[in-house]
Structure 1
Amino acid sequence: MLRRVALLAAIASLAACSQDPPAPEPVETEIPEELEGVELPEIVAEDAGIGTPMEERVATIGLLNKRNNLSQELELTPGEQRRVGDVIIRLRACERTAPWEMEKDEGAFVQMLVRERGTQSEFRRVFSGWLFKNKPSINVVEHPIYDVWVKSCAMEFPGEE
């Protein structure tokens, strides 16, 4: 009985700890004189995006046929698709990190469709997701014949040289 009481007391004390503390009251402050004349940066709408608009970006995608060891580079813009033999590669988006960010990477949202055996025009989606140039193991295209990877995403950021 004593154990049950101790257990219930412990549970009650833990439940009391999980309550959020009250939010602090706002404090009105003065703007320092040296900052009163400083021009504030223009507010950018959230949907405006930074850098090259998506439809103007160009991704270079590598495609490897493991059977014959032939590889190709495909240059696609978002929304574009290209058929190479029994494979269709679709590009939905491409991104790269901003020049001021420390860890550089490039990625693309790719869909890969492969023609079904014994058919002429039936394709099955075997991959749909983000692929990253510098971290290919994050999301892997698992197909016995074809491999797809991101080589680059051409886009610019404001102020970039």
Structure 2
Amino acid sequence: MIRAIALLAPLALLAACTEEPPEPAPVETAIPEDLQGVELPEDVSEEVSIGTPMGERVATIGLLNKRNNLSQDLELRPGDQERIGDVVIRLRACERTAPWEFEKDEGAFVQVLVRERGTENDFRKVFSGWLFKNKPAINVVEHPIYDVWVKSCAMEFPGEE
């Protein structure tokens, strides 16, 4: 008898756990009264930018061919691309943290295209994303032959010497 109860108790607990919990009620929020009358600024993102305009920034990108251990530095502006052998490197954007921020870093949005074997001009995109100088493990170009990394992003902020 005790054995039967010992076996049935876990089954009863398991049956009780199969029901899904009820959905939580949504929490209503309201804009605070002191912010309700505030006029929002117009979108001026095109007109005002902090620091060097994107088109004037210069990124230094490192490229390593692991087969022959040749390394090159490429200086690109956003919108530029450069072909080195079987690789095309495109730079879309380049940023660095402002001088008043504590954690300094530099990064670039890079696209890497590699020529397909046996073709003349067939390139396949192997990477597209942000690469960071001080945190290279966040995003990595995974390719058996080529390694690409950010070395710097040259830009200035207002008030910087």
Range into which the TM-score falls when normalised by the shorter chain? 0.7 to 0.9
Code of the residue aligned with 2:28 in structure 1: it is: D
Q: 2:27 aligns with which of 15, 19, 40?
A: 19
Partner of residue 38, structure 2: none
Partner of residue 141, structure 1: 141
Partner of residue 85, structure 1: 85
| Gapped regions of structure 1 (runs ≥ 5) | 28-42
CA distance in 1, matches of 2:31, 2:100: 34
> What are the superposed Cα offsets for residues 77-115 of structure 1, whole Å, 9 maximum, x if unpaired?
011111101000000110000000111000000000001
Code of the residue aligned with 2:92 in structure 1: it is: R
CA distance in 2, matches of 1:46, 1:148: 31
Aligned positions of 1:64-79 closer than 5 A:
64-79=64-79
| Gapped regions of structure 2 (runs ≥ 5) | 1-15, 36-41
Partner of residue 63, structure 1: 63
C-alpha displacement of 1:121: 1.0
Alignment RMSD: 2.3
Partner of residue 36, structure 1: none
C-alpha displacement of 1:26: 3.3
Partner of residue 45, structure 1: 44
> What are the superposed Cα offsets for residues 7-51 of structure 1, whole Å, 9 maximum, x if unpaired?
9xx948x53xx3325554339xxxxxxxxxxxxxxx993332110
Q: Could you tell me the TM-score, scaled by structure 2's length?
A: 0.77
CA distance in 1, matches of 2:30, 2:94: 43
Q: Could you tell me the TM-score, scaled by structure 1's length?
A: 0.77
Partner of residue 30, structure 1: none
Partner of residue 114, structure 1: 114
